[in-house]
Structure 1
Amino acid sequence: MDLLVQGSNFEVLQTSRYASGHWAPTRQLFKNQFFYDFTDVVQNGRLRLFIEQPSGTVLTLEQAEQKADGSWTTPTPMAGLPTIDATTSLPTRNFLAAAVVGTHVHLVYIGSTGQIMHTSERADGTWTYPDQVASGSAYKQDKFASVSAASVGGLLQIAVVDQAHGTVLHTVRHADGTWASWGNVLSQTGKPRYWGLPIRVAMAGFGTSLQMVVLTNGQVAQYHAVRHADGSWSRLGDINAQVDFNRAGFVGTVLQEVTAVNVSGNLQLVFASDDDKGSLFHTIRYANGTWSKAGLVQRATNLSSWRPSGVAGSAG
C-alpha cells in the first residue's frame, strides 16, 4: 500500500506498507505554502497525486505523478478544469476523491457552492468540464463535508457526508454517464447506537461489492459496511470494537481522517487522529471478515519530523 500523508505545515509525505507488514521510511516529497486537500490513485502502475492549490480567492486543481526513479513531477494545473471560487466555497476546506474506472481517471470534488462536481480525464490528458453529481435528486442543494470515490464492477460509485441530515449518501454513475439519485445509506444499514455527527467517509471497491468506512465526531464511533453486488447493504459495524484503537495508543478526542484501500482482496485502513502528534493508526479487514488489531504507524516508520493531519492511500 502506498500512503501519502498531509503534514500540518502543508508538506506532502510518502511511505509504503509492504506485504511483509514492514513500512518504508517516510520522506517529504514537497512542501507548499498552503494547500487544501489531496488524493491519489494508481493508474497503469503510475502513482498519481491530485491536489487543491489556493491562489488568492480561487483554488486550482493540480496533478503530479511519481516517475520510474521514484522522484515526482512538480504539480501543474489540470488542463480543461476551471478554478474554484474560494470566497463562496462551502465548506472552507474542500475535499476531493479519485478512482480509476476502466482506462480513465475520474475525479470528484466539492465545488464553489458546496455541491459535488465530477470530471474525467480524456485520452489526450485533458479533463472534461465538471458536471454536478446526481443533480436531479432530492439532496441536490445540500452542502457536503466529505467525499469518496471507488470503482465497483466497472462503474464509479460516490459517497458523501451530508451533515445537514446527519447521514451518508451514495450514488452510482451509470455506463451512459447518468447518475442514480442519491440514496440515504443509513436507511439501508441502520443507525448505530453511538452515531453522533458524521464527518468523513472512505470507500474501496472489491470486484462487484463496495466497502465503506464512516467516521463520526465520537471518540469510539467508527463504522464499516458492505454494499453487495445486488445493491443491498450490511449493517454498520463498530470498527473500534474489533481493532481497539486505545490499545494502539489512541489518546485523542476523535479520529478525523481515514483512507481505505483494497490490497490483494483485503481492506487496509489508515486513520489520522486529532492528537498533538497527529497519530496514524493502521488496521486490516481480511477477506474472511476478521480484523487485525490497530497499530500505530509511527512505531513502524519515523514521522517525528512532521505532524500528520491527513492521509490518502492507494494500492501500489
Structure 2
Amino acid sequence: MRRSRSLAVAAGLMMGLALLDAPGAQAVDDTVAVTATFNDPAGTTAQQDAIRNQLISLVNRAPAGSEINGSVYLITDGGVRSALVAAKQRGVKVKVIVDGDAVADVDPDSGKATGSEYSALAAAGGLGTDPSADSWVMACPAHRGCIGNRDLGGGDDGAINHNKFFLFSKVGATENVVFQTSANLTTSQRRNLYNNAVTLPDNGSGLYAAYRNYWQDLQTYGSSGTGLAHYYKTQDSGPYKTYFFPRQEKAGTTYSTDAGTDTVVSLLGNLDCAGGTGRVRIGMYAFTRPQVADKLVELQAAGCRVELLHNGEEGNLGTTVQNTIAGKLGYVARCAGTATDSGGASRTIGIHSKYLLVEGTYLGVPNRKLVFTGSHNYTFPNLRSHDETLLKIDNPAVHDAFAANFESLKAGPHCTRWLQPPAPAPGWKTEVLARTDTGLYQGIRLADGSWTGFTDVQSKAGNINGVHAVAAAGINADTHVVALGGDGRIHHTVRKDDGTWAAFGDVGAVAGVLGSVTQLSAVSLGNDLHVVAVADGKVFHTIRNATGHWTPFGDVAGAVGPIGTVTAAATAGVGGELQLVAISGGKALHTIRNTAGQWSSWGDVAAAAGATGPISSVSMAGTGGDAQIVVATDNGSRQYHAVRRTDRTWTPFADLKDRLGTVSATSLGAAHVDGELQLTATTSAGGLLHVIRHADGTWSPATTVALQGVTGTLGAASVTGTL
C-alpha cells in the first residue's frame, strides 16, 4: 500500500429493520423497499452494525442464478466476505472490484497486518480471480483507480477506487436493487464513525442500469489500458440522478480553481434562497474545497439556512474552508466525541457520512426535498482524480430520514458547535421599550446576552396618561424615547447612562402639534435625533439636534410627493442619510433624505425586493452601509426581511418563519447593535421574541424575552442600541 489508512466501517441505527435473513431466502412476499440506514458507533452492537447487516441481508437474499456486482475501496469485514462466498456457493454470480490498497495483507509502511479480506476472496475457496468465471474479485491497478489515473501532485498519492456500492439483479422477489453507502467495508469504522446508506429498488427508473454500466467501465478500464484523467458521466433515472467521477477542470484553469466544473458548487447553485425558505444540511467526513465553502456562505447570506456537521480529525476541515465559513453559516459542529465500552475502554467517535440535504425551491420547483449522497467527499481528489459516485435522490421520505439523522447527531453528545459568530463587543446594550395597555416599560439586553428586568418608564419620567405608540433611538450611551401619550400628544424623554431619566417633554410645544397620531419612529444620525410620526394618514418629520432644539414637523409627502393614506412608517440611518419607508395601501414605499436635507422620490420596495401580502407593520435599521427592513404582512401572520445594499440593490424579501417560528406579530422592532441587526417581535399571544442577524448574514436562534416587571397586555415594542 502507498499510504496508511484508517480501516473502518459504519453500521447501526436504521430507518427500516434489516435482518440477517437465511441465505437464499426468496419468498414471494420478500420484497425490497426504499430504505435509509444509519449507524450509531456509540450504540449497541446492532446499532453499530446496521449498515453492514443491511448489506449482508441483501446478499443472503440473492437467489441462485442472480448476480451481485460490487465496487468498494477496502474490505476487512469477515462477515461480508463470508456472505459473498456463501452466495457464490449457492449459485449466485458474485463479482467484486476493490481498490489496489485493499490487496496487501501487511501494511508496508507500518509492518502491521491490514486485516484485508482480499486474499480470502481471491482464493480458490473464495470468489477466485478468473475474469472469465461466473464469480471473481478484481483489484484496480496499483497507484491508480480502475478508471481514474491522475496524480494531482503536491503530496497527492494518486487516484483510488473510492466507491462503496453493490448491485443486485434480484433480492428476494425484487429485481434490480442498488445499495449505496458512505461506509468502507472494514471492521473498525462501525465502532468509530457515523455513516449512511440507501437501498433502492429500481422500479423501472433505470438507476440499476446506470450503475451497472459504470461498474462495467470500472472493470474494463481496470483490466486494461492506463485509465483516464476525465470520465465524468451523469444520468437521470426517474427520481434519481447519478454523477460518476473523476471530472477534469476546463482548459486554461487549474484543478483547484475552476468552480465551474465543481459538481457540488453547481448543485448548490440550483437552490433559490428567495423568501428564506431554503435549507441546506451537510454531514461530511472531509471538506477542503474552498469553492464549495464560498457557495455555502453565499446561500446563507441570501436567506437560506446552511448547517454543517464535519469530522473532527485534524485536516478533515481545510484551513481555507474553516476561515471562509467561520461565523458565516447558520450552524457548524465538529464531530469528535468519545464513547466508552462496557469494559471501560474509550474510543473516538466522528462522522464519515457523505450527504447533502437540500430543501426548498430547486431548479425553479418549490418545496423540493433532495438527498445527495455516495462516496464523494468535498476534496479535490474526490472531484478530480478518484473513481467516485454521487447520487441524487428525489424522495421526501428519504430526505426526512436523513434530516432526522442530522438532527439526532446535532443534538447528540459527539458533535459540538463551533465557528460561531463573535459575541457583541463589551459595552453595547440592546434597549427595548415595551408598550402595554397600561404603561411603558424599558428592558436592557447586556453584552453577555442576559436581560435585566423591565422598568416602569412613567414612574421615572412622568405620567403621560397611558402610551399609545413608542419609538426609541440610542445616541452614544443615552436612550431617547418618544411616546404618544393618552392626551394624544407626542412626548420625549432621555435615559442617561447612569440610569436617570429626564422628565417627559411635550414635543408638540416645540415642533408643532399634529392631528391624530397613530405611529412613531425614531433614529439617530450622529448626535441628532430624527423623529417621524404618522398623523391623519400622512408622514411628518422633525429633528432634535445635539443642543436640544427641535425643528418644526414637516410633511414628507409635501417634499417627496403624494402617496395616499399612510398607515405605518419606519426609519434608518445609513451613511449619514435618513432612509424612510412608508406603508400605504399595504405596500412599502421608500425615500432617502440626504445630508443636505433633500428628499428623493418614492421608490416601490416590492418592485425591488419582491411582492408580499399587505403590510401591517414595518421597522428598519442601518448596519454598515446597508438598510435592513422587516415587515409583518397579512395581519401579522407572516414576517419578512430584506436588505437595501450600499450599491442601492435590494435582496429579495426572505420569510422569517425559520427565524421567528409560526407567530402572529403585532409589531416588529429593528435596531443596529454593534454592527448587527437585532429584531424584536411582539406576538398576538402576548410574547416578546428577540433574534439577531449577524454581520455575516447568519441568524441566532430566536428567544423569548421574560417580561419581568411588565404589567398589562403587551401591545408593541421598539428596540435600539446604545454604547
TM-score category (smaller protein) = 0.7 to 0.9
Equivalent in 481, 491, 498 of residue 49 of structure 1 = 481
Which residue of 1 is the match for residue 454 of structure 2? 26
- SS of structure 2 residue aligned to 1:226: strand
Residue aligning to 1:213 = 630
Residue in structure 1 matching 2:701, options 277, 288, 293: 293
Match of 2:443 among 9, 15, 23: 15
Deviations 1:84-131 (A, max 9, x none): 22xxx3xxx6111111113311111113x3111111124542211121
Q: Percent identity?
A: 28
Which whole-Å CA distance do the structure 1 matches of 2:637 and 2:567 have between them?
Answer: 20
Rg comparison, structure with higher value: 2
User: CA-to-partner distance for each residue in 1:193-225, whole Å, 9 max, x for gaps?
Assistant: xx3321111111012211110111256510000
CA contact (8 A) 1:50 1:61 kept: yes
Code of the residue aligned with 1:282 in structure 2: it is: H
| Amino acid of the structure 2 residue aligned with 1:161 | I
Shift of 1:169: 0.8
Task: Work out whether 1:224 is the aligned partner of 2:224.
Answer: no
Partner of 1:245: 661
Structure 2 residue corresponding to 1:60, chosen from 484, 489, 493: 489
Distance of 1:244 and 1:75 partners within structure 2: 34
Alignment of 1:252-267 (within 5 A): 254-267=664-677
| Inter-partner Cα distance in structure 1 for 2:542 and 2:704 | 35
Q: Indicate conservation of the 8 Å contact 2:477/2:497, yes or no.
A: no
Secondary structure of 2:511's aligned partner: coil
SS at match of 1:187: helix
CA deviation map 1:237-263 (0-9, x unaligned): 0111x22524xxx5xxx2110110111
Aligned 8 A contact 1:134 1:181 in 2: no
- The answer for unaligned runs of 5 or more in structure 2 is 1-429
Name the aligned partner's letter for residue 210 of structure 1. A
Structure 2 CA distance, aligned partners of 1:144 and 1:288? 34
- C-alpha displacement of 1:69: 3.5
Q: Does 1:84 align with 2:500?
A: no
Q: Is the 8 A contact 1:65 1:72 kept in 2?
A: yes
Map residues 1-316 of structure 1 onto 2, 5 A cutoff.
Answer: 1-9=430-438, 11-30=439-458, 32-55=464-487, 59-78=488-507, 79-85=509-515, 89=516, 94-111=518-535, 113-135=536-558, 137=560, 140-162=562-584, 164=585, 166-191=586-611, 195-217=612-634, 220-240=637-657, 242-246=658-662, 250=663, 254-275=664-685, 278-298=686-706, 301-302=707-708, 305-316=711-722
Give the Å deviation of 1:304.
6.2
Preserved CA contact (<8 Å) 2:579 2:590:
yes
Count of residues paired in the alignment: 288
Distance across 1 between alignment mates of 2:554 and 2:660: 41
Greater share of helix: 2
Alignment RMSD (CA, Å): 1.9
CA distance in structure 1 between the partners assigned to 2:550 and 2:636 by the alignment:
40
**In 2, distance between residues paired with 1:29 and 1:117?**
25
Q: TM-score, normalised by structure 2?
A: 0.38
Between the aligned partners of 1:136 and 1:63, the Cα distance in structure 2 is: 25
Q: Whose strand proportion is higher, 1 or 2?
A: 1
Residue 94 of structure 1 aligns to a residue whose secondary structure is: strand
> How far apart, CA to CA, are the structure 1 residues paired with 2:495 and 2:614?
37
The one-letter code matched in structure 2 to 1:259 is: G
Runs of 4+ in 1 over 4 A off after TM superposition: none
Letter in 1 for 2:564: D
Are the aligned partners of 1:134 and 1:171 in contact in 2 as well (CA < 8 Å)?
A: no
Matched AA of 2:610: G
Give the deviation of 1:32 after TM superposition.
Answer: 4.1
With over 3 angstroms needed to count, the CA separation of the structure-2 counterparts of 1:70 and 1:116, relative to structure 1, is same
SS in 1 for 2:608: helix
Change (3 A) 1:123 1:67: closer
Instruction: Report the CA distance between 1:302 and its aligned residue.
Output: 2.1
In structure 2, the CA distance between the partners of 1:103 and 1:232, relative to structure 1 (3 Å rule), is: same
For structure 1, list consecutive stretches of 5 or more residues without a partner in the other structure: none
